[in-house]
Structure 1
Amino acid sequence: MRHLFVLLSVFSTLLPAVFAAVDFPTCLANVQNGLFGTVGGRDNHGNPVVISNATAITYELCLAACGAGPEPFHWSVFSQQFSSWLLPWLALVSQLPFGSNDKLDNLESVLLTIGSPALAAYSLALTVLNGRWIARRFARFTYPNVRRAIRILNSLQQAPLRVVNDDALLASLVVLPQNDEWWIELDDWLNDAHSWSISAITSIAWVVITYVFTVVDSFTTNLGSSIQANGQAVGSLWLWLLPIIIGWLMISPKCDSVRLSSMIERANRIAYVATDGGSIILARNAGTEKRAVELTILELDPLTRDEKCTAPVYNYARFLPWVMAVEEVCEAFHGASDHYHGHRSVDPTIDWVMVDRKQQPHERNRVGNRRQLEEYCKPLHARIIRSRWGPNVFSRMAIASFLAMVLQWGTVGSAIVVAWFTPTIGLGCRSASYIVYGVLSTIVWILLVSSSILTHYATMQPLNHWEQPVNDWSMRAARLTSILLRRLGKSIATLNSIWIFISCLFQLSNFYDRCYCNSSVFWLKGRAYNVIQLMADDLASTKGAWLGGVFLAGGVVVIYVGFVELFSDPPLPD
């Protein structure tokens, strides 16, 4: 039944084009013959001319002579343009990384990505920058499993990560030699998957080849009366999808919620913890359900709903809590590394066993009771004052925001340029629809990023005893505002996804090919006119604008993919 409603809605947009069709060439011929008077003739630049020589007519004359309806719907033109310019991109959407075991959540992530390419580009850029930041953050530490900790924490950017340092759980995980197996196994499980597949490569290659061939064909074909139904702007508009999918394939995000939960649970079965008496036992036998590294996927707090969704587009919501979790682990490795450099054992009564500089500390120097482990993971000669927001978060947010805007408005701007400079030159229905899409996409990005910041503020606790507690009223206000902004942003993203799909259909089906849209009334207002007969210089300037649009969209795609390639896979410490 749902598919039937979709088909009916599509046909409802096309039926007016069939029953209220306008033949603009015949209309121009009648105008040139003087059937509608001698006033209103224009050349293709809007200058008044003798009516018999007119190739364009004023908007008022267009309505009187041609009517307010669109050009007739031509299935042959529509099917060719749809299959060349829009269908490949719709098929490529299937290659977006999902991850949730809930189909509705996966659909929501698709609508969020299409409704706000800026948000998708922002989440991807943040993920890349986080990988480089954590590698540099841990690079100065020389303690066992540092390299694996970087890889594990980087891989868990798509998961609602929580680090627990109570009861020496984290300290035991970092220091105890019995937990080396935990780091090895979890690292191997998380990083044994490769997202590059034959289907993904084939889909990307199909889209790229189709796009290139169609662009070349659009410059070599006699456009004639089908210029308004040409999908040059549509192809440029959707080009943002290519770097997003290529970028995620390069990063290989671990976003399968069931698999992630299973991996963490399996690893925690072999996690050990120290007791007050100094004995080492399995954490599952310690009488607590807490573990040093946990996922909170099953928690039902509506405030952190987006954080629980493991689709990579939601990395914007996990950014700040992930940074705070990384800082907990970083502090533990910092303390252990400081003590290791000072040749201090966990248990002060055990003498330091000298080892080669490139070897791990001896196992005797890595054991002790719970209190000793907690002290061992506190950095020496440093008063830990951590920001509630984490180090360098705002610089990474600024860089990711800049890249998101470049990709968003580079591709949307390309579509606007193509539509704007297709006669009649100016702001019309086509270019206005692309502007609306870009503006709404940006609004969604602003709303959801703001929501994530308020969520972090509403859920964080003071990190140090000298900090003032957060006011209850401000936290409640932040909580309610965050939920409101998130729901509003998602609603706008859903509507924007539907809007751009319908707008593309309007473009390719001649629905926009009517007096009002062709006359650029938005821009020219009282001077609006409709170009009906294209001249050679019009085609040349139009194709020049199309070429500029292709280079603009292609350029920002190359810049974004180049950024992902350059900043991903940073060097890790030995």
Structure 2
Amino acid sequence: MCRSHNLTEYRISVRGAMRAEIFPAPTILPIVLTQSAKASRQYAVMAQDPNHSESRNSLHYDIWNPSAHIMHSSFSWPYFLRHAQTNTRLSACLILLVLIPIVSGVRFDQCLNDIRSGKHGELGGTDNRGRPVSDIANATAISYDLCITACGAGSEPFAWSIFSTQFSSWLLPWLALVSQLPFGANDKLDNLVSMLMTVGSPTLAAYSLALTVLNGRWIAKRFASHSYPNLRNAVRILSSLQQSPLRVTTDGSLLSSLVVLPENDDWWSELVMWLDYTHTWSISAVTSISWVIIAYIFTVVDSFTGDITAAVNANGQGVGSLWIWLLPIVIGWLQISPKCDSVRLYQAIARANKIAYVATPSGRPVPASSLSRRRAITLAPGPEDALRRDEGCTAPIYNYARFLPWVQAVEDVRSAFSAASDHAHLHRSVDPEINWEKEDRFASGPSRVNREGTRAQVDAYCTAIGEHTSTRSAWGPHVWSRLCLASILALFLQWGATGAAIIVVWFTPTTGLGCRSGAYLLYGALSTVVWFLLVLSSLLSHYAMTTPHASGKPSVRIARLSSIAFRRLGKLVATCNAIWIVMTCLFQFTNFFDRCYCNSSVLGRGFNSYNVVEFMANDILGMRGAWIGGVVLAAGSATMFVVFVNLFINPQLPD
């Protein structure tokens, strides 16, 4: 018994009936605290005489008198606690009220038996297609209204055995595989954000990966028609620096000296060696990937060979398909081996720039460090501007933000190599007064003496031949084709996995759009929205950076502010979406979605909703077919993405 002083005493009676029972009392305040997983239970708070015959064995809870002048819109806990006789008894009452929903709930099979017995009338029973049955005893499904009335709005009870099995089989391996994603940022917060962005938007992760693969192939072809010393190393270096805020400076003969002077041969060869540090495959990576693949195969086979109707609404078949996008993303990055360790990247560039040389007016090269701190190729030390914040994050998922600036940097270097290659093809020395020396048959380019000259001569050698040079595009060559192809591949992977998960739960009776399929659909839609916002942000950012501020165009300021706003909004949505999908999986495994509203597919069927409780042979056959189709779609989309990566990576480099 829980009592208090100076307060009218109320009794909370827990009734085990399927229907909520409100008993007569002077003042009644019904409060629905929960619906049990075994039966729908409603707790009625009623004023009752303490001497009533039923009060001796009833649980009592004391609250304020509703008829008193102190009635408020919310419960006054300080007022209540001040008048509680014993804190221990009060705590016991509160604990009981909290624990009752956990151990109780709706039991749909028992509820269906009561309905078949006629306890709730003869109306509301249907077959598994939603058609009313003439005899309620033959009902295998019930209308949504009858489900709420007879069974309650609660969910099936939480079952640890189901949760642990489904969680460890379908979700845990994927969460463990997230650790194999490449991060590399020196800031732990940046690494966390990149992880949330990957989980929150697989579309963006796949887009950045596909773009990286396409860029590597594009740059190899872009340099393929040229031939000059260090050109092969230049392709390897520029391709490796896709994960860094690359900056190229053409002023002061810095770039032309780096391309032409033989003293800078060591710069190229040393930087290639210092950037070749990433291990593609490790024991932990292979173990994680193998665990995921084996666990996925075993659980899929087990779900088909076992009882397909057992805990069908908590089954993780759809969850496994939903997360399968992670497998090709991890495998793809391991194969590409991105150079994303920010510390090592900056150290490699700094070490190489210490041995860089620059041409002088006298014709004798000097170390670049003796003239200034400027270098031809550098990495931005930090976020130079809020507009370019994501460029400085070396995690590969941010390649979407570095795409256009990286293309411009590559074009600067290619132009210098192209002009030098054209001059060498015509047997022109850097210094016009020096005759072209005959190449050794084993040499890969012009001799050393043909590559020496003054600063003006070096600059002229890296300038295109003729006066017909056209103005270069601010966007870069073949940018839109690569952007569109990467987008198509990313959307294919995202919706192949998400679509497979939706198919699995869509065709699980009751068929149609329900809580599970709706949650998956929302996840895929938000993932696509994040990708769109961040790609749009990168385009606006590049436009604002390449348009001179002196132009005074209002469009530049609008593009600048919009880019920052879209980027921040995209990251916020990605974070929420990552949390949402994990919570969705947990809701499914804990039977939270196993309730009348979700099982009746109210989202899609509306007023015609019904809850299939007992599965028939045709239902099982349809479910099995949908599950097989979902597995094939998910595995097929993931496999095709892996095939694309393997076909396009490691292109043939120019000599």
TM bucket normalised to smaller: over 0.9
Q: Which residue of 1 aligns with 2:387?
A: 303
Normalised by the size of structure 1, how large is the TM-score? 0.95
Which of 62, 73, 81 matches 2:158?
A: 73
Q: 1:409 to 1:70 in 2, by over 3 A?
A: same
The residue identity in structure 2 corresponding to 1:305 is: R
Q: For residues 180-259 of structure 1, what are the structure 2 equivalents within 5 Å?
A: 180-259=265-344
Q: For residues 321-360 of structure 1, what are the structure 2 equivalents within 5 Å?
A: 321-356=405-440, 359=443, 360=445
Q: 1:507 to 1:16 in 2, by over 3 A?
A: farther
1:212 partner SS: helix
Aligned-residue Cα RMSD (Å) equals 1.4
Which of 581, 589, 609 matches 1:508?
A: 589
Deviations 1:353-412 (A, max 9, x none): 111466221111101111111110012135042100000000000000000000000000
Q: Is the 8 A contact 2:280 2:337 kept in 1?
A: yes
Q: Is the 8 A contact 1:353 1:362 kept in 2?
A: yes
Q: For residues 55-70 of structure 1, what are the structure 2 equivalents within 5 Å?
A: 55-70=140-155
Q: Is the 8 A contact 2:505 2:517 kept in 1?
A: yes
Q: Is the 8 A contact 1:17 1:71 kept in 2?
A: no
Is the aligned partner of 1:40 residue 2:124? yes
Is the aligned partner of 1:387 residue 2:468? no
Q: 1:533 to 1:155 in 2, by over 3 A?
A: same
Q: Which residue of 2 aligns with 1:532?
A: 613
Q: Quote the offset at 1:16 in angstroms.
A: 8.8
Q: Which residue of 2 aligns with 1:423?
A: 509
Cα distance in 2 between the residues matched to 1:538 and 1:66:
23
Q: Is the 8 A contact 2:547 2:556 kept in 1?
A: no
Cα distance in 1 between the residues matched to 2:528 and 2:592:
27
Q: Is the 8 A contact 1:251 1:568 kept in 2?
A: yes
Deviations 1:259-284 (A, max 9, x none): 00000000000110011221110111
Cα distance in 1 between the residues matched to 2:327 and 2:552:
45
Cα distance in 2 between the residues matched to 1:261 and 1:550:
44
Q: 1:142 to 1:113 in 2, by over 3 A?
A: same
Cα distance in 2 between the residues matched to 1:214 and 1:19:
28
Which of 150, 161, 171 matches 2:235?
A: 150
Deviations 1:31-77 (A, max 9, x none): 00000000111111111112101110000000000000000110000
Q: Identify unmatched segments of 5+ residues in structure 2.
A: 1-97
The residue identity in structure 2 corresponding to 1:137 is: R
Which of 452, 474, 483 matches 2:555?
A: 474
Q: Which residue of 2 aligns with 1:459?
A: 545
2:439 partner SS: coil
2:501 partner SS: helix
Is the aligned partner of 1:111 residue 2:192? no
Cα distance in 1 between the residues matched to 2:551 and 2:486:
29
Q: Which residue of 1 aligns with 2:576?
A: 495
Cα distance in 2 between the residues matched to 1:110 and 1:297:
23
Deviations 1:73-119 (A, max 9, x none): 10000000000000000000000000101110000000000010000
Cα distance in 1 between the residues matched to 2:415 and 2:181:
35
Which of 518, 532, 543 matches 1:446?
A: 532
1:27 partner SS: helix
Q: Is the 8 A contact 1:419 1:431 kept in 2?
A: yes
Which one is further off, 193-202 or 348-357? 348-357
Normalised by the size of structure 2, how large is the TM-score? 0.83
Deviations 1:481-508 (A, max 9, x none): 1000000000000000011010111111
Q: Quote the offset at 1:536 in angstroms.
A: 2.2
Q: Is the 8 A contact 2:156 2:591 kept in 1?
A: yes
Q: Is the 8 A contact 1:17 1:70 kept in 2?
A: no
Q: Is the 8 A contact 2:340 2:394 kept in 1?
A: yes
Cα distance in 2 between the residues matched to 1:358 and 1:519:
77
Q: For residues 93-112 of structure 1, what are the structure 2 equivalents within 5 Å?
A: 93-112=178-197
Cα distance in 2 between the residues matched to 1:192 and 1:37:
74
Q: Which has the larger radius of gyration?
A: 2
1:239 partner SS: coil
Q: Quote the offset at 1:474 in angstroms.
A: 2.1
Cα distance in 1 between the residues matched to 2:614 and 2:483:
49
Cα distance in 2 between the residues matched to 1:571 and 1:438:
36
2:324 partner SS: helix
Cα distance in 2 between the residues matched to 1:249 and 1:385:
39
The residue identity in structure 2 corresponding to 1:222 is: D
Q: Which residue of 2 aligns with 1:88?
A: 173
Cα distance in 2 between the residues matched to 1:232 and 1:225:
12
Q: Quote the offset at 1:20 in angstroms.
A: 5.2
2:366 partner SS: strand
Q: Is the 8 A contact 2:103 2:158 kept in 1?
A: no
Which of 269, 276, 290 matches 2:354?
A: 269
The residue identity in structure 2 corresponding to 1:521 is: V
Deviations 1:542-568 (A, max 9, x none): 011011000000010011000000000
Higher relative contact order (CA 8 A, sep 6+): 1
Q: Quote the offset at 1:298 in angstroms.
A: 2.0
Q: Quote the offset at 1:538 in angstroms.
A: 1.2
Deviations 1:147-187 (A, max 9, x none): 11100000000000000010110000000000000100111
Cα distance in 1 between the residues matched to 2:417 and 2:441:
18
Cα distance in 1 between the residues matched to 2:602 and 2:301:
31
Which one is further off, 510-519 or 532-541? 532-541
Q: 1:99 to 1:495 in 2, by over 3 A?
A: same
Q: Quote the offset at 1:297 in angstroms.
A: 3.6
Cα distance in 2 between the residues matched to 1:225 and 1:355:
78
Cα distance in 1 between the residues matched to 2:305 and 2:517:
24
The residue identity in structure 2 corresponding to 1:94 is: S
Q: Quote the offset at 1:18 in angstroms.
A: 2.0
Cα distance in 2 between the residues matched to 1:32 and 1:491:
50
Q: 1:263 to 1:460 in 2, by over 3 A?
A: same
Q: Which residue of 2 aligns with 1:6?
A: none
Cα distance in 2 between the residues matched to 1:77 and 1:90:
19
1:253 partner SS: coil
Q: Is the 8 A contact 1:17 1:511 kept in 2?
A: no
Q: 1:125 to 1:16 in 2, by over 3 A?
A: farther
Q: Is the 8 A contact 2:278 2:338 kept in 1?
A: no
Count of matched residue positions in the alignment of Structure 1 and Structure 2: 555
Q: Is the 8 A contact 1:173 1:292 kept in 2?
A: yes
Q: Is the 8 A contact 1:297 1:309 kept in 2?
A: no
